[in-house]
Amino acid sequence: MGDTRGNGDGDTGRSTQDRIAAARAGLDPLHVPVMLDRIVELLAPALDRPGAVLVDGTLGLGGHSEALLKACPEMRLVGVDRDTTALERSAARLAPYADRVHLVHAVYSEIPRALDEAGADLADAVLLDLGVSSPQLDETDRGFAYAHDAPLDMRMDRTQSLTAAEVVNTYPVAELTRVLRSYGEERFAPRVARAIERRRAQSPISSTRELAELVRESIPAATRRTGGHPAKRTFQGLRIEVNAELSILESALPAAISRLAVGGRAAVLSYHSLEDRATKKAFAALTADTTPADLPVPLPDRQPELRLLTRGAEVPTDEENERNPRARSARLRAAERVRPARQ
């Protein structure tokens, strides 16, 4: 498909506002994906041509992909998700575009395999919308939310074996402390881990309500009065551990970018500092001139592979935050491939 990409500037005679209007046409106003207009603005120029390929590595309900399929009527979608329920729902949502859609049950670090299965050598755009999806939060039996009582599960891929209950009830205190401190950024991680150890010695901790209440009791009263629900950091840490989110992201970004065509674009939506830091690091590694400092001239094969499309991390508008509180923590970074991948 390399002969259909054009020159990478995406100038097909349609304005950005035309693409955004097309993308939004018919969307449910109550379920508009996070930073949709900006995602379309950033990715559509690389996709608005015959045969262009978008890889949505975290398909979810398919909202971003649906918008881009509308905005770019000649592109193809390779939709990837580890959650089989999400794939079923997005397949129904994207049914009007079925002839341009290929869905793959995989973790987004397996984007190269997904492209191979779809018969595509390279991607013209890659989108990663990280973290837990709204349906996963809203389906109480998934165990992601501390606001509902449910089994301690937290698996994005329910075909895997490790659950939050296993982490909570079997990890040594030192390991629990590491998970809560490193992934949940919980400053009272040792106190919470010891409280968990005492409780599970009496009987296994099996529900989100029991864990949330235990965490609340472990946090000093003065701290509980600010910063939202006391259990949110513990739940974040457990979710990241159960789903290996950070290790997958650290391998997924280089893997996805390695299959990005020259002129292709990658966009990543993060929802906490650990994800955003990993994204920033991955982009920085490929936007730098790596010519040794002691050489007098830049080496052609050490020039940057990417150029940044965003200045730092962009955030949702105040209007979007009012409309969709779940967007408040979003951070968006995007880059464009300007040179072939280094060999």
Tell me what pLDDT residue 15 has.
72
Beta bridge pairs of residue 123: 260
User: What domains lie within the chain, and their CATH numbers?
Assistant: 2-129+245-337 (3.40.50.150), 140-243 (1.10.150.170)
Percent of the chain with pLDDT over 90: 73
- Amino acid identity of residue 287, one-letter, is T
Give phi and psi for 89, each to the nearest 5: -70, -40
Tens-place pLDDT, residues 259-314: 999 999 999 999 999 999 999 999 999 998 877 888 887 887 778 999 999 999 99
Mean pLDDT across the chain, nearest whole number?
Answer: 89
Least confident of 96-105, 209-218, 334-343: 334-343
The owner of tokens 């018919």 is 26
Alpha-carbon gap, residue 23 to 301, rounded angstroms:
38
Q: Closest Cα to residue 269, out of 129, 132, 174, 150?
A: 129
Tens-place pLDDT, residues 325-337: 889 999 999 999 9
Identify whether the C-beta of residue 314 lies closer than 8 Å to the C-beta of residue 332: yes
Alpha-carbon gap, residue 240 to 196, rounded angstroms:
18
Alpha-carbon gap, residue 184 to 171, rounded angstroms:
16
Tell me what pLDDT residue 211 has.
97
Identify whether the C-beta of residue 321 lies closer than 8 Å to the C-beta of residue 327: yes
Instruction: Summarize the annotated binding site as residue ranges.
Output: 62-64, 81, 108, 129, 136
The owner of tokens 């009791």 is 217
**Which of the four pLDDT bands, split at 50, 70 and 90, describes residue 181?**
very high
Alpha-carbon gap, residue 260 to 158, rounded angstroms:
30
Alpha-carbon gap, residue 320 to 312, rounded angstroms:
19
Beta strand pairing call for 76-81 and 53-56: parallel
The predicted model scores a pTM of 0.85
Tell me what pLDDT residue 6 has.
35
With the CA atoms of 248, 110, 55 and 323 taken in that order, what torsion angle do they form, in degrees rounded to the nearest 10?
A: -30
Identify whether the C-beta of residue 79 lies closer than 8 Å to the C-beta of residue 94: yes
Residue range 8-12: mean pLDDT, rounded: 41
Instruction: Summarize the annotated binding site for S-adenosyl-L-methionine as residue ranges.
Output: 62-64, 81, 108, 129, 136
